[in-house]
Structure formats: structure tokens, C-alpha cells
């Protein structure tokens, strides 16, 4: 059927309209503008992240360099100028242009170094939002301060230390340790903000506390020839020794097998102060002189060394230290030491070394530590008489073929010696052989032959040491220990005593200097404060 031209025109218009309606209804491609906008936003966000990452990377490099630089500059062993050390670090890293300032504070026992840095970086993407540059600051502060440190250095001077140059190596290591932890200028500064004090406790089968401490702790009064003491097991459950509590004094005797000298020439507890405790010194010269004077001899009593080490760190010893200060024996800045365990400004340290292991400890039997002996002495003629109770007579060693009914010169001219006097004049082997073998072989001779007894076994000493080390660590005392060519049992004991495995050192020969040096560096540790 043939359509007219009008019909064809109307049909074309309808088609256009239909196509327009279809276009308006068609949603294909509507997401594209939104996708383009999101893509641009994501691109901008990624770019911003890159700029921020660049900024953080620069800041990290600056911070790490500043940290290393101030730590090195604040080291009190650093002999170069502190500011120069920091600048050298930044020069080496190629960052000198970013170092803004270096501030150095120095005084007795401390050095504080602060470095401030800043870098400016151009942005790649943030400039699209108007941020063309970002500032990257970094700062670090380090401080080394030897302030309020109380150290007990416990050194083994038993007989085995006299072999293989052990004592020589110990002395060298100890002197270097003293030079590291003690600032000689402490004695000359009038405004001391912190002090490191050091007590040296030499030990063998005993500890000689010397006259200075012996007069200030309460030792029993059987004699006053020497100043060594005996402790009970219960004394090792606590770190303190109360100056007002009486401590049993060790007898004064000589185990020499032949000595007839008067007085005894090699007392078990020495009468001189050469190997006595040196308490609370800040004088490196005096401390090193003490170390230089040490000699080797005797058995090993680690428990006694640790006992006195803890006692001199315990606040209970404060009246003793104050009395020493009153007498001008310790520096005035040490008054009211030891500090409380709760004092956060004070570090308490024990450095314990041995080349051996605990051995037996001896003393006279109780019946020979006090009371009267049966030996009489005529002072004017220097003659002795021996009373024999079983026969009620007297024998004169200078006239061995006769017995008498009274002491030489009579009781008005001769004087009966105390047991303490007798053992202070003659050795424990000389007494029975010279005085009692002939007149009373089956009585007093046998008794005096066994006058010395073991008071602490090696296993008991180990138990005491471990108990006390535990108490010390619980109180907050840091314990370093050094096994110096020591046997297995000794090494095991020291490992148990140390505050941690890293606080124990097992060394041979001259390695002992390395151990002491490492301990000194740890004590003088650097603290990154910001």
C-alpha cells in the first residue's frame, strides 16, 4: 500500500521521538564521569601518601643519625669535643646542612647532649592542594650520668689466686675498673650532684673487716686482736647487718705447724689492714693502692664476701658510714649512705669474682675461744708453767725433768693466761707439742691437738651464698659475677648469683680485664632520654 508524503513525514517524526525516548531511558555509560572523578581523587590521595612517605623517610634518617651522634658525644669516655662529635656524624651521613643546633651540658659525673635537626622537602602531589613544601624536624637527647652509684667489689684472694698470674691479672683489671667508674675530680668539686662510691671486699676463708669497721659494728668481746666474724645460716636470709646486734668474733689463732713465736706470726685472721675491707671510698688512688697491696693465701669463702658486700649496700649500715664520715675516714658527700632501696636515684651493684669454689671454714672450738687456760706465765723471767689437773701439779717446759706444786715463781708472781692469750702467743700445733705432750699426753694434749674445727662446709657455704644472692636481687641490688678460670661448681654458683645470664662472665687470663671493662661500661650506661 502506497503511503502519501504526509504519512511518511509523520512516520519519520515518530521514529525520531522514539529514538529520543530510548536515548533518555538508556543508562549505559552513566558511571563513567563518576569513575573519572574517583580516579582523580585516588591519584591525588596516592600522591599525597608518597609525599608523606618521603617526609617520614627523611625524618627517620635524621632521627637515627641524631640518636647515634648524641649517644657517642655524651659518652664520658669520649675525649673529643661533644659538639664536634655530633657534627662529624652528620658530615659522614651527608646531612650536615640539616643540623640546626647542638647543645651540650657538662658537669661532675655527667654529660648531656641534645641535637636538633630540620629538613624541608618539595612536594610532588600536595602542591595540587596548595602545599608546596613540608618541614621535617627531629631531635635527640642523650645523657651519661654516674650519679649515686654504690658498688661493692668482692675479690677473691685465696691461695689459688697466687698461681698462673691470676692475682696480677686481677689487679690490672680492677685498677682499670676503678678508673672507669670513679671520677677523681669528685673530691675537688664543691657542688657534687652525684657520687659513685666503691667498697673493696677482699676474701679468702674469711673476711678481715679491719679496725675502722670493727670499731663500728658490735663484735663480741672475747678478744680484740683481730676483726673477723662468724655468721649463722639465718644471717644469710637478709642483706643487712645491724650495727647494734652483736656478731660472734672469730678466734685469733695460727695454724702454723711449728711456730713458737710470740705473738703468732701468721694469724688466721690478719691483724693488719692490708687485706681488710676498704669501705665507701671515692678516692681512686686509695682504691688502687688497696688493690695493689693484696696478697694470696687461704681457702675460699664466697658467702662471707657476699655477706659483707650486701651489708655495705644495705641502709642498716648508714650509722656506720656516718660515723666514718664524722671521723674523716670517708668523704663528707657520702653522709647518709647507703641509700634506701627505694631511692630511684641510686644504683646498688655487687661485682663478685672468684677463681675457685667454696671450701671449708675454720674456727677454734668454743671451749678454746674464752676462759682460762692451764698455762701460767712469769712475765719478769718469761717462764711458763703447765698445770695438770689429773695430778694436781705443775710442769715447767724449761725444766722438763721435774714437777712442782706451784707455778714458776708462785701464784703471786705468775699469771694464768686466758685461752685467747695462749692462742695469740703460739700456734695451734706448737701449743700441744710444747706445753702438753709431756705432762698430760692423754688429756689436754689430745684436746689441744683438735682445737680447730670446721664450722662451715663447702656445701653449706654454697647454700648460704645462693640464699643471700637471692635476697640481694629481691632487694634491688644488681649482681655481676666473674668466673676467673673457676671450676664447674664455682662457675655454677656464680651463674646462680648473677642478676641474669648476661651479668655473668666466664674468663681466662687477661680476659678478666675485658669482663671488668664490660661491667664498668654497663654501670656507666647511656640513657636515651628523648
Q: What residues have CB less than 8 Å from 22, skipping those under 6 apart?
A: none
Domain contains 266:
no
Asked whether residue 210 is domain-assigned, the answer is no
Question: Given the C-alpha cell 693465701, which residue does it identify?
Answer: 297
In this structure, is residue 262 part of a structural domain? no
Bridge partners, residue 102, by sequence: 115
Q: How far apart are CA 291 and CA 358, in angstroms?
A: 22
The answer to whether the CB of 477 falls within 8 A of the CB of 199 is no
In a domain, 446, yes or no: yes
Q: Tell me the residue range of the domain where 96 lies.
A: 32-144
Distance, in Å, from the CA atom of 117 to the CA atom of 187, rounded to the nearest integer, reads 38
pLDDT at 144: 78
Q: Can you state the angle between helices 284-292 and 166-181, rounded to 10 degrees?
A: 170
Please enumerate in sequence order all residues whose Cβ is within 8 A of that of 371, keeping only pairs 6 or more positions apart, or say none.
418, 419
Tell me, yes or no, whether 77 lies in a domain. Answer: yes
The closest of 265, 263, 257, 250 to 432, measured between CA atoms, is: 257
Please tell me whether residue 303 adopts helix, strand or coil conformation. helix
Other CB atoms within a 10 A radius of the CB of residue 392 amount to 8
In this structure, are residues 125 and 51 in contact, taking their beta carbons and an 8 Å threshold?
yes
294 and 354 both lie in a single domain = yes
What stretch of H or E contains 526?
Answer: strand 526-528
- My answer on whether 459 and 436 are in the same domain is no
Q: Are residues 193 and 301 in the same domain?
A: yes
How far is the C-alpha of 160 from the C-alpha of 184, rounded, in Å?
33
Is-contact 401 456, C-beta < 8 A? no
Do 283 and 376 have their domain in common? no
**Pair 341, 421 in one domain:** no
- The number of beta carbons lying within 10 Å of the beta carbon of residue 204 is 27
Contacts with 139 (C-beta within 8 Å, 6 or more apart), sequence order: 66, 114, 115, 116, 117, 530
Calpha distance 435→484 (Å, rounded) = 44
Apex CA 427: angle with CA 421 and CA 432, to 5°?
A: 90
What CATH number does the domain containing 166 carry? 3.40.50.410
Q: Are 69 and 91 in contact (CB under 8 A)?
A: no
Asked if residue 17 belongs to a domain, the reply is: no
Whether residue 294 is found in the same domain as residue 426: no
The candidate with the shortest Cα–Cα distance to 306, out of 78, 464, 133, is 464
Domain's final residue, options 127, 144, 161: 144
d(CA 484, CA 514): 12
Same domain as 117, residue 94: yes
- In terms of domains, do 446 and 479 share one? no
- 379 & 486 share domain: no
Our count of domains for the chain comes to: 3
Q: Cα–Cα–Cα angle for 64, 70, 75, nearest 5°? A: 135
Q: SS3 of 517, please?
A: helix
Select from 144, 162, 178 the last residue of a domain. Answer: 144
Are residues 327 and 469 both part of a single domain?
A: yes
pLDDT at 28 (0 to 100) = 57
| Alpha-carbon dihedral sign for residues 365, 368, 374, 380 | positive
pTM (2 decimals)? 0.74
Of 426, 450, 474, which closes a domain?
450
- Cα-to-chain-centroid distance, residue 253: 33
**Residue 173 counted as domain residue:** yes
Cβ neighbours of residue 454 closer than 8 Å, sequence gap 6 or more: 360, 361, 362
Cβ atoms < 10 Å from Cβ of 404? 13
Q: Closest Cα to residue 140, out of 122, 117, 111?
A: 117
Judgement on whether residues 435 and 474 belong to the same structural domain of the protein: no
- Are residues 517 and 444 part of one domain? no
Residues 6+ apart with CB under 8 A from 478: 347, 348, 349, 350, 499, 503
22 found inside a domain: no
Kindly give the confidence (pLDDT) of every residue in the chain, 530 residues in length, as a single tens digit, with 9 standing for 90 and above. 555 555 555 555 566 566 656 655 665 555 666 656 665 566 556 656 676 777 778 888 889 999 999 999 988 778 899 999 999 999 999 999 889 999 998 764 568 899 999 988 777 666 666 677 778 888 999 987 657 899 999 999 999 999 999 999 999 999 999 999 987 765 565 545 568 899 999 999 999 999 999 999 999 999 999 999 999 999 999 999 999 999 999 999 998 766 677 889 899 999 989 999 999 999 999 999 999 999 999 999 999 999 999 999 999 999 999 999 999 999 988 999 999 999 878 899 999 999 999 999 999 999 999 999 999 999 999 999 999 999 999 999 999 999 999 999 999 999 999 999 999 999 999 999 999 999 999 999 999 999 999 999 999 999 999 999 999 999 999 999 999 999 999 999 999 999 999 999 999 999 999 999 999 988 876 445 54
Amino acid at each position: 500500500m502506497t503511503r502519501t508524503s504526509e504519512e511518511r513525514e509523520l512516520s519519520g517524526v515518530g521514529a525520531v521521538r522514539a529514538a529520543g525516548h530510548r536515548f533518555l531511558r538508556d543508562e549505559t555509560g552513566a558511571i563513567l564521569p563518576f569513575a573519572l572523578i574517583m580516579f582523580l581523587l585516588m591519584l591525588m590521595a596516592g600522591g599525597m601518601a608518597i609525599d608523606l612517605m618521603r617526609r617520614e623517610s627523611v625524618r627517620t634518617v635524621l632521627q637515627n643519625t641524631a640518636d647515634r651522634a648524641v649517644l657517642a658525644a655524651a659518652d664520658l669516655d669520649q675525649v673529643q669535643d661533644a659538639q664536634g662529635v655530633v657534627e662529624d656524624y652528620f658530615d659522614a651521613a651527608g646531612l650536615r646542612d640539616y643540623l640546626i643546633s647542638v647543645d651540650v651540658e657538662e658537669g661532675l659525673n655527667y654529660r648531656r647532649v641534645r641535637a636538633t635537626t630540620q629538613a624541608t622537602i618539595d612536594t610532588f602531589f600536595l602542591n595540587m592542594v596548595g602545599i608546596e613544601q613540608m618541614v621535617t624536624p627531629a631531635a635527640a637527647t642523650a645523657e651519661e650520668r654516674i650519679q649515686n652509684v654504690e658498688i661493692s667489689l668482692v675479690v677473691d684472694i685465696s691461695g689459688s689466686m697466687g698461681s698462673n698470674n691470676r692475682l696480677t691479672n686481677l689487679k690490672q683489671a680492677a685498677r682499670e675498673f676503678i678508673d672507669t667508674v670513679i671520677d677523681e675530680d669528685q673530691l675537688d668539686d664543691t657542688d657534687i650532684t652525684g657520687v659513685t662510691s666503691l667498697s673493696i671486699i677482699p676474701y679468702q676463708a674469711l673476711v678481715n673487716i679491719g679496725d675502722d669497721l670493727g670499731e663500728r659494728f658490735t663484735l663480741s668481746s672475747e678478744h680484740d686482736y683481730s676483726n673477723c666474724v662468724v655468721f649463722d645460716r639465718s644471717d644469710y636470709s637478709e642483706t643487712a647487718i645491724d650495727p647494734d646486734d652483736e656478731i660472734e668474733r672469730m678466734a685469733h689463732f695460727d695454724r702454723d705447724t711449728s711456730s713458737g713465736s710470740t705473738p703468732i706470726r701468721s694469724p688466721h685472721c690478719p691483724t693488719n689492714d692490708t687485706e681488710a675491707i676498704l669501705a665507701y671510698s671515692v678516692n681512686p688512688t686509695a682504691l688502687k693502692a688497696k688493690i695493689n697491696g693484696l696478697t694470696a693465701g687461704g681457702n675460699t669463702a664466697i658467702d662471707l664476701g657476699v655477706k659483707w658486700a650486701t651489708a655495705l649496700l644495705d641502709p642498716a649500715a648508714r650509722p656506720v658510714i656516718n660515723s666514718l664520715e664524722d671521723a674523716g675516714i670517708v668523704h663528707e658527700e657520702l653522709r647518709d649512705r647507703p641509700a634506701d632501696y627505694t631511692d630511684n636515684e641510686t644504683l646498688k651493684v655487687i661485682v663478685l669474682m672468684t677463681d675457685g669454689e667454696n671450701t671449708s671454714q675454720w674456727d677454734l672450738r668454743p671451749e678454746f675461744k674464752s676462759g682460762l687456760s692451764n698455762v701460767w706465765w712469769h712475765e719478769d723471767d718469761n717462764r711458763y708453767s703447765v698445770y695438770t689437773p689429773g695430778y694436781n701439779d705443775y710442769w715447767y717446759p724449761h725444766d722438763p725433768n721435774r714437777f712442782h706444786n706451784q707455778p714458776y715463781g708462785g701464784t703471786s708472781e705468775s699469771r694464768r693466761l686466758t685461752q685467747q692469750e695462749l692462742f695469740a702467743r703460739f700456734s695451734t700445733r706448737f701449743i700441744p707439742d710444747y706445753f702438753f705432750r709431756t705432762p698430760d699426753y692423754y688429756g689436754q694434749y689430745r684436746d689441744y691437738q683438735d682445737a680447730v674445727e670446721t664450722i662451715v662446709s663447702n656445701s653449706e657455704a654454697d647454700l648460704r651464698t645462693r640464699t643471700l644472692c637471692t635476697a640481694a636481687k629481691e632487694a634491688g641490688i644488681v649482681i655481676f659475677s666473674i668466673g676467673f678460670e673457676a671450676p664447674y661448681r664455682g662457675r655454677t654458683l656464680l651463674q646462680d648469683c648473677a642478676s641474669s645470664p648476661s651479668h655473668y662472665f666466664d674468663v681466662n687470663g687477661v680476659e678478666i680485664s675485658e669482663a671488668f671493662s664490660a661491667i664498668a661500661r654497663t654501670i656507666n650506661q647511656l640513657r636515651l632520654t628523648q
